[in-house]
Every structure is written in C-alpha cells, then in structure tokens.
Amino acid sequence: MGWGNMMGGWGYGGYGNSGYGIMGIGMLIFWIGIILLGIYLFRRNASHVHTGGLDKHRAMDILRERYARGEIDSVEYQSRKQDLESK
C-alpha cells in the first residue's frame, strides 16, 4: 500500500491541495454575506438612534395631514401639537 492509495487518492482525500475546493469558496462567500448583512442592519438601526426617529418638522407635517383628513379632532390636534413643540 503506497501513498497514492491512502484516503482514496493523492493528497487530502482527492479534493486537491486545500481539501475544500468549491465548498470552501462557497462558505467564504456565505460568511462574507452574513458579515455585510450585519453591517448593513447595524448602520440602518444606528442612523435611527442618532436622529431620534422622526424629526420634529416631519412629525408636525404628519399631524397636520391627519387633522386635514379628519382622522383626529381639534382637541387632539392641539394636544399633540403642544407635546411636539415642547420636545
């Protein structure tokens, strides 16, 4: 029995020099994708934390739109407007 017959072929089980081949490249691409996805999600969430979600002007625009559509009455509009202006 020689070196060539050990483990089914030359080297590492017949998979070439590295022993991983295409599977190794696929796993590398998979992990790079996972890391990039994590970075994307982290940056997206971090931007909302720094801005505090909606800014005051955008919140007032939404409040005016809701009042104009009749979704809220005058009392609720005034109450929410005061809340937004005090922040």
| Domain tally, the chain | 2
The verdict on residue 25 lying in a domain is yes
Whole-model pTM: value is: 0.40
Digit-coded pLDDT (tens) for 22-43: 778 888 999 999 999 999 988 8
Backbone angles phi, psi at 2, to 5 degrees: -105, -175
Separation between Cα atoms, residue 52 and residue 65, nearest integer Å: 21
Do 38 and 63 fall into the same domain? no
pLDDT at 82: 92
Nearest Cα neighbor of 67 from 78, 82, 56 is 78
Do 44 and 60 fall into the same domain? no
pLDDT at 75: 95
Q: Name the residue range of residue 37's domain.
A: 21-52
SS3 25: helix
Average per-residue pLDDT in the chain?
78
The verdict on residue 13 lying in a domain is no
* List of the chain residues with pLDDT < 50: 1-2
Do 85 and 63 fall into the same domain? yes
